[in-house]
Structure 1
Amino acid sequence: MYLTCSTIILAISVAATRVAATPFKFPLPDGFPNPNPAQLAKIEKEAGGPLPDGPLPTVLKSTGVTTLQLLALNEIFEVAYFTEFLANVTNEVTGYDAKAIAPLSKQYVIDALTAVVNQEQLHAAGVNGILKSGNQSAIEPCEYQFPVTNFTQAVVLAQTFTDIVLGTLPEAQAAFAADAGDESPLIQLFGGVLAQEGEQVGFYRFVQKKTPSAAPYLTGGSPSFAFTAIQSFIVPGSCPQPLSNINLTTFGPLTVVTTPEAKNQTLEFVVPGAVSPAANSIVYLTGANVPLTVAISNVSTVAGMSHFTASFPFESGFANGLTIAALVKGAGQTYKTNDAVAAATLYGPGLIEVD
Structure 2
Amino acid sequence: MTSVAPYDSKPRPPAKWTKLPVVHQLRQSVGLQRGMLVAGLIITGVFILTSLFAPLLAPYGFSQLRDASGPFGAQQPPDAAHWLGTTVGGYDVLSRVIWGSQTAIVVMIVAVLLSIFAGVALGLVSGYFGGWLDRILVVVSDAVYAFPSLLLAIVMAIVISGGRSDLVGGILAAAISITVVFIPQYFRVIRAETVRIKAEAYVESARVLGASNFRIMFKHIFRNATRTLPLIFTLNASEAVLTLAGLGFIGFGIEPSAAAEWGYDLNKSLSDVTSGIWWTSLFPGLAIVLVVLGITLVGESLNDLADPRLRSRRAPGASDGTVAETSVVPGGTLVAGPGGLAGLEGPASPPTDGIEARE
Q: Structure 1-normalised TM-score?
A: 0.23
Higher helix share: 2
Larger radius of gyration, structure 1 or 2?
2
